[in-house]
Amino acid sequence: MKSIDDILAGITAGQPRAIGRAITLVENQQEGSEAVLSHLDSLVCNYLVLGITGPPGAGKSTLTSRLIEQYRADGERVGVIAIDPSSPLSGGAILGDRIRMMRHAKDPDVVIRSMATRGRLGGLCSAAGSAVRIMAASGCSKIIIETVGVGQSEMDIIGLADLTLLALAPGLGDDIQAMKAGLLEVVDLLVVNKNDLRGAENLAMDLEGVARQREDKYGLPTRVCRTIASEGQGIEQLVALIAELESLHSESGEMNRRRQVSRNREVVDWGLDMIREKLEPLAALHKHEASPQKTAVQLLQKLWLDL
């Protein structure tokens, strides 16, 4: 599987090997990644990107696994991008989200890819955005991005999703309060998972109160859904809610607007990465006589001529 043509043909045929290779190429920005990506856009058809975020212990991976199950039962092909943080010390990462999704390992119509944040801001978005398009081109009609929604890079990732779901569970402590504040502004759906645990009722009521105060553009409050993902309870209702929001957003044009925004940001991210790559060696060579700001302007002007 060396040539770009092989990879492209493999992606359209849904071959796991080709899909995996292609994502590696774009993730590492290796030679050929641009060629793969530029061909993909013509292949992509209809798909929905669902972002799932929430604190550790909320049951995101189990929820994802149940959603996969439900969508597969409806005959859809599903992609999953599971994101875990890289260690700031070593740059390595343990990608453990797959554990809860292994029951789908032998299903050729479930494509799962674990990705590490690699300490990048924009770069992760561009890699994950490209992975979404590769999965879509391979025929995935539902693509789930799962991430711990705490850091800025994870929040940015959520911007890639057409719909975003925040999973919470009772008993996870105070950090949820802080998280709720920022995340509530961007999520479309609130899920109270582990609804059988003590404190679930309070959490759900609390969230429903918050949700009522925040009407969306259709004048509807943010939906709150209760699930016990470990036992599969509430998943059908959740899938129905997602479908309802999906059709609302596509009819109103909100879906297109969001995709445009996210696409714009991807463009900027790519651009910044490209500039950084050129700028870093220049800065290293440059004799720093002027102020950093002035130097930057000089170097950019020089770059401008080169580009």
Partner 1 sequence: MSNHPAYTKWADNQLAKSLQRFPERRARFIHHGNTEVPRLAVPADIDQNYLDQLGFPGQYPYTRGVQPTMYRGRLWTMRQYAGFSTAAESNKRYRYLLDHGTTGLSVAFDLPTQIGYDSDHDMALGEVGKVGVAIDTLADMETLFSKIPLGKVSTSMTINSPAMVLLAMYVVVAEKQGVAMADIKGTIQNDVLKEYVARGTYIFPPRPSLRLITDIFQWCGSNTPAFNTISISGYHIREAGSTAVQEVGLTLANAITYVQTALDAGLELDVFARRLAFFFNASSDLFEEVAKFRAARRMWARIMKERFGATNPSSWMLRFHTQTAGNTLTAQQVDNNIVRVTLQALSAVLGGTQSLHTNSRDEALSLPTEESVRTALRTQQVIAHESGVANTVDPLAGSYFVEQLTDRIELEATDLIGRIEDGGGVVACIEDGFIQRQIENSAYDYQREIEEQERIIVGVNDFVVDEESKPPLLRVAPEVEDEQVARLTTLKHERDNADVAASLDRLADKARTDTNLMPLVIACVRAYASLGEICDVLRGEFGEYRDRQ
Partner 2 sequence: MTTKHRILIGKPGLDGHDRGAKVIARALRDAGYEVVYTGIRRSPAEIAAAAIQEDVAAVGLSSLSGAHLRLFPAVVEELRHGGAADIAVLGGGVIPEDDVAVLLAAGIKAVFTPGTSLEEVVQAFAAVCDEQ
Regarding 101 and contact with partner 1 (CB under 8 A), the answer is yes
Whole-number Cα distances in Å, 52 to 10, 218, 243: 28, 22, 15
Which of 7, 11, 23, 37 is the binder for partner 2 (CB under 8 A)? Answer: 23
Q: What single string gives the DSSP state of each residue in 270-281?
A: HHHHHHHHHHHH
Q: Is 40 helix (H, G, I), strand (E, B) or coil?
A: helix
Regarding 201 and contact with partner 1 (CB under 8 A), the answer is no
Regarding 46 and contact with partner 2 (CB under 8 A), the answer is no
Q: Is 117 helix (H, G, I), strand (E, B) or coil?
A: coil
Residues 59 to 88 in contact with partner 1, rule: CB under 8 A: 59, 61-62, 65
Contact characters 88-107, partner 2, x per CB under 8 A: -xxxxxxxx-xx--x--xx-
Which of 111, 131, 136, 239 is the binder for partner 2 (CB under 8 A)? Answer: 111
Which of partner 1, partner 2, none sits in contact with 59, Cβ below 5 to 8 A by type? partner 1
What order of strands is seen across the sheet that includes strand 189-192? 110-116, 78-84, 142-147, 48-53, 163-168, 189-192, 223-226
CA angle at 207 for the pair 202 and 213, rounded to the nearest 5°:
135
Q: How far apart are CA 93 and CA 65, in angstroms?
A: 22
Regarding 231 and contact with partner 1 (CB under 8 A), the answer is yes
Q: How far apart are CA 154 and CA 82, in angstroms?
A: 11
Regarding 13 and contact with partner 2 (CB under 8 A), the answer is no
For partner 2, the binding residues (CB under 8 A) are 1, 15-17, 19-21, 23-24, 27-30, 86-87, 89-96, 98-99, 102, 105-106, 111-114, 116, 118, 277
For partner 1, the binding residues (CB under 8 A) are 56-57, 59, 61-62, 65, 96, 99-103, 169-172, 194, 197-198, 230-231
